[in-house]
A and B are shown apart, each in its own frame.
Chain A
């Protein structure tokens, strides 16, 4: 158990809908990351937050947004969902946002868009 908690574990929704994925980082970790894992794209970095502020942005679509709250939990919002958004979404956390900090991953949220 990494200490990173993600909910829900599984989610099935229809195209055009909006979903919110939630992440609680490990106790004491200030940085949160979101990754998308799909068969065709592999593991892709979406976005990073550090202590409530956006730190780095990767291949995140404009239909997607995220935020980190004062209690350090984070949410990833996915809107106008398309079939291709079906994937495993990972949240991860680390103590800081520096290279070399160990990043711990949650078990992921499986999103299926039908």
Chain B
């Protein structure tokens, strides 16, 4: 079975400090991994994706994530948080062996304080 676990349901950081949102996956197949962001009352926006190319993936708005196969992790980071980063973040793995459906983590709510 393929699943994804977001280790923190809430993360709070101060503006200007680094952001770390943790994600672990389990997969019997080579995974495709994604991070999506959802701002309040908005749809889901793709931040970045990993599809077996470079293990360090750079996304939009200064976010990046590193695929670590040995740790089955795909943590999302940003060097310096901005107030506008406050949102819900979802780590996602694809079912590569059965059509192409995204399996979402439970989400991490990021709070950025002044």
Contact = CB atoms under 8 A, between A and B. Distances in A.
A2 to B, nearest CB: 6
A104 B46 contact: yes
Interface string B68-99: 00000000000000000000001000111011
Contacts of B42: 107
Contacts of A106: 43
What is the interface of chain B mostly: helix, strand, loop, or mixed?
A: loop
Interface string A57-81: 0100000000000000000000000
Which range holds the interface residue count of chain B? 20 to 34
Contact of A98 (B43, B100, B103): B100
B32 interface: yes
A48 B43 contact: no
Most buried by A among B96, B102, B105: B102
B32 A97 contact: no
Interface residues of A, number: 28
A42 interface: yes
Contacts of B34: 103
A48 B90 CA distance: 20
Contacts of B51: 99-100
10 contacts: A31-B100, A42-B105, A42-B107, A58-B101, A90-B43, A98-B100, A100-B49, A100-B52, A100-B94, A103-B46
Interface of A: 2, 4, 31, 33, 35, 42-45, 48, 55-56, 58, 90, 92, 94, 97-108
